[in-house]
Amino acid sequence: MRISGSIALVTGANRGIGRHFAEQLVERGAAKVYATARRPEQIDIPGVERLRLDITDPRSVEEAAAVASDVTLLVNNAGISTYTNLVNGDLGKIRSELDTHFWGTLSMVRAFAPVLGANGGGAILNVLSALSWFSYDGANAYAVAKAAEWSLTNGIRLELAGQGTLVTGLHLGAADTDMMAGYDVDKMDPADVVRAALDGVEAGRVEVLADESSTYVKASLANDPSDFYTSTAR
């Protein structure tokens, strides 16, 4: 997958990692970048085409796919974090996490898979998380939703292989964005995260681990879970 000359669409491009994706795609020579958001008037990135899109609204997704029928690279970045637990947390917030990360991403994939196929296959990049692989008290709804999105990513990779679509999952621990503003932890520069992700797509990789945190969590999956949770509790 070549970034230069591609036609890209980025969800949630108004801020955070999504904004960096749109900027770097322009810098890398993408022929066109659709920068999308629920409120596209908030997007002020030079060189992009702004497009209104709410990934939790099926009609909005269908309209975006009709407009952006030339897309060859889909970046599913849009996300939310409600900082909600499962047992006593608000069910509406838990559903919102799943509606966004799982159902919203699936809606985008279903709408744009035929577009990508018609344009030669292209690629899908799903922005996941190290929390796809572990739970964190205070953000368990997010962890569940990202775990579901990770499984979705693996599933669609198999289903779209026949049309030549690369499906890449991006995992990271913490990036210095608004979503992580309340956490006092080491954070990556989001520009570095995006750079690693786009490099991975161009290299044809199906998974990109953007930092030491996600690499550590992924490696721990082969071990006793109690070892991981005991070490993180310290």
Residue 1 lies in a domain: no
Enclosing domain of residue 63: 7-233
Residue 2 lies in a domain: no
Into how many domains does the chain fold? 1
Q: Which amino acid is at 63?
A: E
Residue 223's pLDDT band, with cuts at 50, 70 and 90, is very high
Structure-block tokens of residue 86: 């499962």
Residue 124 has pLDDT above 80, yes or no: yes
**Rounded distance between C-alpha atoms, residue 106 and residue 153, angstroms:** 9
* CATH code (residue 69): 3.40.50.720
Cα–Cα separations (whole angstroms), residue 146 to 98, 132, 139, 226: 8, 5, 11, 21
pLDDT of 188: 76
Domain membership of residue 152 (yes or no) is: yes
Q: What is the mean pLDDT of residues 1-23?
A: 96
Which tokens belong to 88?
Answer: 């006593």
* Residue 33 bridge partners (DSSP): 8
> For 147-200, what is each residue's pLDDT tens digit?
999 999 999 999 999 999 999 999 998 765 556 445 555 767 899 999 999 999
What is the model's pLDDT at position 234?
Answer: 66
Mean pLDDT, all residues of the chain? 94
